[in-house]
Chain A
Amino acid sequence: MADLALENDVDERSAELETRPADGAMDRSIPSLDGRCDVLPDQPLPALSTASAQAFAAVDRRDPSQKLYALIPDPQLPFRLNAIRHARDLGDVAVVKPSQWGSIDWPQSGRRETLLVFQRPSGEPLMPSIDDQIRPLKVPDITQNLMKPMAALLSVLADQRLAHRNIRPTNLFRAGIGEPVIAGEFYSAPPGFNQPSLFEPIERAMCPPAGRGAGEVTDDLFALGVTALFLALGRNPVANLDDKTLLTLRAEMGSYAAYTAQGKPPGDLAPVIRSLMHDDAQDRWTVEDLIRWADVGVANQAKPMTMVRSDRGFEFAEGHHHTRRQLALAFSRNWNAARPVVLTDAVERWAERSLKDRDLAQQLIECRHSTESGPRMISDDLLLARTITTLDPDGPLQFRGMNAMPDGLGALAALAAADTDIAATFTEMISSQLVEFWIEKQTVAGLLASTGKGDAAKILTYLGKPGPGFGIERCVYELNKGMACQSPRFTNVNAVNIRELMAALDAGAKKGESQLDRHVAAFLGARYSGSIDAELGEYAGAQSGEDALLAQLRIFASVQLKHGPSELPNLASVVLGHLDILLSPYRNVALRKRLRRVAEQVAPTGKLPELLGVISNRKTLNADKKGFDRARRHYRALGRQINSQRDSRERTGERALVVGRAAAAYVSGGVGATVVMMVLLAGIT
C-alpha cells in the first residue's frame, strides 16, 4: 500500500508538471524547475555538494529572498523517494527538507536530471572536511546544540520508520557558536552511500557503500556518537588509519576502543559516546536514552563490550585471529585462501578448544549440512559464506567478496544490473539462500531480518524468471523506488516515474524498433500500481513477432489506462505500422479492412486501450474464428463436389448412352403414340 501511495504521489507530481509551462519558458537561458525555481549552473556550491550529487545555487522566482540550493543526484543511483515523501511529515526538526523536486533539462549534462531543491542551511558545516582540525566543542555545547536537536530529529525519523544515515560533522551545519545544529540533506543517495565508513557501525562499515542498507535510527546513533567524538576532540582521531586497518582494529578491540586509542573524549562525555558507539546494536543507546541524558543529564550507560578472545589465535592469512569477528573478517577478505580452510575441521576445533564454545563448534559443523530451507548442495563458496555468518552473525552477508546488509540488497541489485560479474555473484548469493541462513542465525528478529527476508524472497522470485520484465532489472526497480529507468535508450530522460517513461517512450517511438527493452519492461512491471506480470509474461513468452507486438500493446495500454499520459499518439502510430501483423489473427478480409479503418481513426487520438480494443477483441476474434472454420468446411465440401462432378464428367459417355437410349425410348413412345392415335382417328372417321 505504501508503494502504491508513493507511486500515486509521483504520478500526481508528474501530472502537475504537464499542466505547467515548459521548463525555462520564462527565461530559456536559465534552467528552471516548473517555472518556479531557477537553478544557476554557473554557481556551484562545493561545500553543499556530496560524493554523488552536485550542488548549485537556486532562486525561487516568487520569493527571491529565500536562500535555496539545488542538488542534482547521480542518475545511476536511486535517490530516497520515500524520505522525500515523508519529509513534509517531519515537522519542525533540525534537518534540511526539500522544498521542491522534479526533473529538469540540465545544460551541463545535456540531459534531463532529477533536481532536489532545499533551503540552504544557515552557516557552515561543523567540519569543512573529515580530516580537518577545528576548535574542540565544549561538552555543554555538544549536549545542548548537537545532542538535543539530533535526538529530537532521530525520534521523529524513527516514528516515520526512516533513518538519516548521513550524520557526520561535514553534513551538520550551524549559524554560529552557541547555535543549534541542523542536519544536512539525506535524500539524494541511497542510505549511507555518502557516509564515510568510519561513521557506520562495524557491520555496515564492512560493506561497500551500495550494500550498507537502509539502516535504522540505531545506526544514526552510532554516527552521532562518532560525530560527538570528532567534535569533542576537534579532529579525526583515526585520520592516520586507512579504512581497512581501522576496520581490523574495530573487529579486534571494538569500535569505541579503536577510535579512542589515540584521543580520549572529555570524561563526562566519554560514557555517552561509548554508549552510542556500542558495537552491539541491542546494547547501544536508544533515542530515549539519549533524550533522557540530554534533558536530565542521567542515563544508564550501555553495558561494556564483551568480546570473547581465544587464548590461541587462529592462524590464517599471516595473522593470528583471536575473536570470531576477526576471523570472519579475515576469511571474507581472503576468500580464495579461506575456502580450503573451511573444508577442514580446523575452525570447529579452534572454536571448541580455543574459544571453548562447543555450541559454536556444533553450529559450524551444521553449516555443512543442507537444511529444509537451504539448497540441496552446499558449494565450497556457500560453506565459507555460512561459516563466516556463523562466526559473525551480526555481520553482513558475505559471499565471494560481495558484502551487503540484508536491507541493502536493493542498491546491490542496482550495481549488479550494470555489471555481469557482480550479477553472477549476486544471483548465486540469493539463490543459495544465504539470506535465509543469515536470518536463522539472528538472535533477535528485527526489522533488518524481516526486510532482508522480504527483499530476498522478491529477488528470488524475479531472478527465477529470465524474460524481459523480470530478472535482475526487475529487482533493481522493485527494491529502489527512487531509481530512474536505466534503459540505454532513455539515459537522457531520467524517467523516475511510469508517466515520465511513457511520455519518453512515446516521444522516441520509432517503427521497426522494439519499444520494450529489459529495463523498460522491468521498470513498468515494478512501478505499475497493481500487476502487469501476466502481460509481461506473455511478452516474455511470445513465440512470434505478432504475439510480441500484441503483448507489448497490451502492456502499454494497461499502463496508459492506469497511469497515463492520456495521449500517446506516436506509440499508436508505431502500432499502426504493424497493423498487418497485428490483424493477421483475423481471417475475414472484409473484417480486417474494417478493423484497419477503425484503428486508423482511433490511432491519432493516442489512446492505446481503445486501439487495443479494436485490434484484439476476443468476442470479434472468436466470431471470426468460427466463421473461418465454417468457411473452411464449406470450401472442403465444395472441393468434394467439384471432384464428384469431374468424375461424373469423365463418365459422361457411359451416362450419355443410358440417358440417350432412354430418351430414344421416350421419343419413340411419343411419336408412336401420336401415329397410333392418328391411325385410329382416321379409321373411325
Chain B
Amino acid sequence: MAKKKNKPVAKRARRSRGGLPLLMLGFSAVAIGLLVVAAPALILLFVGMAPTAVAIFIDREPEKHAAISVAILNFAGLSPYLADFILGAATFSQAIALVSNVFVLVVIYGAAAAGWVLVLLLPPVSAIVLGVVTDGRIETLRKEQKQLIEDWGEGVAGR
C-alpha cells in the first residue's frame, strides 16, 4: 500500500522537473564562466536572453517545453556574438554598443521568435499525425473483430 501511495508522488516530481532546471543550470554555468573569462559578455547574455525569461514566465506547463524551445533557439541566435566576446578581448562599451544595435537584437530575438513559431506550429501538425495513427489502429481492431464474426458467427459479438 505504501508503495502504491508513493508512486504518483514520484511520478509528479519527475514530471515537474522537465528540462528547464538543466537549462537553468547550463545558463548559470555559462554566466559564471563568462563572469570569469569575459565579464562584459554578461550584459549581452542578460539582454539577449530576455525572451527566454519571458517565455519561462509565460509557460505554465510543468515540462516547460515552450520555454525550452524558445531558450535554445534564443541562445543559438545569441551564440555568434557571445563567441566573439569570449574569443576576443571584449569591453563593456563594446557590449553596450552591441546590445544597442537593432540588427543584432533582431537576429537574437528573431531566433527566439523562431522558437515560438515551432511551439505554435508543431501541436496542430502533431494532432493530424496522431489522428491518422489512432484511426489506423481503430480500423485494424475493427477488421480483427470482423474476422472473428466471420469465423465464429454473430454470436461471438454477443448478438
Interface residues of A (CB under 8 A from B): 587-590, 627-628, 631-632, 634-636, 638-639, 641-642, 645-646, 648-649, 652-653, 655-665, 667-669, 671-673, 675-676, 679-680, 682-683
Q: How far is the CA of A660 from the CA of B125 in the complex (A)?
A: 7
Which B residues, 111 to 159, have Cβ-Cβ distances below 8 Å to chain A? Answer: 115, 118-119, 121-127, 130-131, 134-135, 137-138, 141-142, 144-145, 148-153, 155-158
Task: Indicate if the CB atoms of A635 and B134 lie closer than 8 Å.
Answer: no
Partner of B127, one of A590, A660, A668, A669: A660
Interface of chain A, main secondary structure: helix
**Residue of B with least CB distance to A634:** B148
**Residue of B with least CB distance to A642:** B141
Of B39-47, B61-69, B92-100, which binds chain A?
B61-69
CB neighbours (8 Å) of B115 from chain A are 664, 668
Task: Indicate if the CB atoms of B130 and A659 lie closer than 8 Å.
Answer: yes
**Residue of A with least CB distance to B144:** A638
CB neighbours (8 Å) of A661 from chain B are 61, 63, 65-66, 69, 119, 122-123
State the Cβ distance, B111 to closest chain A Cβ, in Å: 8
Task: Indicate if the CB atoms of B157 and A635 lie closer than 8 Å.
Answer: yes
Name which of A628, A668, A679 has the most chain B CB atoms within 10 A of its CB: A668
Considering only CB atoms and an 8 Å cut-off, how many residues of chain B contact the other chain?
49
The answer to whether A664 and B144 touch (CB under 8 A), given A628-B152, A671-B73, A683-B87, is no
CB neighbours (8 Å) of B142 from chain A are 642
Partner of B75, one of A641, A662, A676: A676
The answer to whether A632 and B122 touch (CB under 8 A), given A665-B72, A672-B73, is no
Q: List 9 other contacts, CB 8 Å, given A627-B152, A663-B122.
A: A587-B156, A631-B152, A642-B138, A649-B138, A657-B126, A665-B65, A667-B118, A671-B73, A683-B86
State the Cβ distance, A602 to closest chain B Cβ, in Å: 24
Task: Indicate if the CB atoms of A631 and B126 lie closer than 8 Å.
Answer: no
State the Cβ distance, A630 to closest chain B Cβ, in Å: 10
B76 at the interface (CB under 8 A from A): yes
Partner of A646, one of B65, B72, B121, B138: B138
**Residue of B with least CB distance to A662:** B65
Task: Indicate if the CB atoms of A659 and B75 lie closer than 8 Å.
Answer: no
Q: How far is the CA of A672 from the CA of B152 in the complex (A)?
A: 57
Task: Indicate if the CB atoms of B156 and A635 lie closer than 8 Å.
Answer: yes
The 6 tightest CB contacts between A and B, nearest first, are: A660-B123, A656-B127, A672-B72, A661-B65, A660-B122, A675-B76
The answer to whether A668 and B72 touch (CB under 8 A), given A680-B83, A683-B83, is yes
CB neighbours (8 Å) of A680 from chain B are 79, 83
**Residue of B with least CB distance to A648:** B134
State the Cβ distance, B34 to closest chain A Cβ, in Å: 15
The answer to whether A665 and B148 touch (CB under 8 A), given A587-B153, A642-B138, A657-B123, is no
Q: How far is the CA of A673 from the CA of B75 in the complex (A)?
A: 10
Can you give 19 contacting A-B residue pairs, CB < 8 Å?
A: A588-B151, A588-B152, A631-B156, A632-B156, A635-B148, A638-B148, A649-B135, A657-B123, A659-B126, A663-B122, A664-B65, A664-B121, A665-B65, A667-B118, A668-B118, A671-B72, A671-B76, A679-B79, A679-B80
**Residue of B with least CB distance to A641:** B141
CB neighbours (8 Å) of A679 from chain B are 79-80, 83
Q: How far is the CA of A644 from the CA of B86 in the complex (A)?
A: 55
Q: How far is the CA of A628 from the CA of B155 in the complex (A)?
A: 9
Task: Indicate if the CB atoms of A668 and B156 lie closer than 8 Å.
Answer: no
Q: How far is the CA of A520 from the CA of B29 in the complex (A)?
A: 103
B21 at the interface (CB under 8 A from A): no
CB neighbours (8 Å) of A682 from chain B are 80, 83
CB neighbours (8 Å) of B121 from chain A are 660, 664
Task: Indicate if the CB atoms of A638 and B141 lie closer than 8 Å.
Answer: yes
Partner of B151, one of A590, A636, A656: A590
Name which of B72, B75, B77 has the most chain A CB atoms within 10 A of its CB: B72
B51-69 near A? 1/0 per residue, CB < 8 Å: 0000000000101011011
CB neighbours (8 Å) of B83 from chain A are 679-680, 682-683
Task: Indicate if the CB atoms of A656 and B138 lie closer than 8 Å.
Answer: no
CB neighbours (8 Å) of A646 from chain B are 138
B19 at the interface (CB under 8 A from A): yes
**Residue of A with least CB distance to B115:** A668
Q: How far is the CA of A676 from the CA of B76 in the complex (A)?
A: 6
Task: Indicate if the CB atoms of A639 and B145 lie closer than 8 Å.
Answer: yes
Q: How far is the CA of A665 from the CA of B70 in the complex (A)?
A: 8
Task: Indicate if the CB atoms of A635 and B145 lie closer than 8 Å.
Answer: yes
The answer to whether A587 and B68 touch (CB under 8 A), given A655-B130, A660-B124, is no
Task: Indicate if the CB atoms of B68 and A669 lie closer than 8 Å.
Answer: yes
Q: How far is the CA of A614 from the CA of B35 in the complex (A)?
A: 92
Partner of A589, one of B69, B70, B153: B153
State the Cβ distance, B108 to closest chain A Cβ, in Å: 12
Task: Indicate if the CB atoms of A676 and B79 lie closer than 8 Å.
Answer: yes
Task: Indicate if the CB atoms of B127 and A653 lie closer than 8 Å.
Answer: yes
Q: How far is the CA of A550 from the CA of B93 in the complex (A)?
A: 105
State the Cβ distance, B157 to closest chain A Cβ, in Å: 6
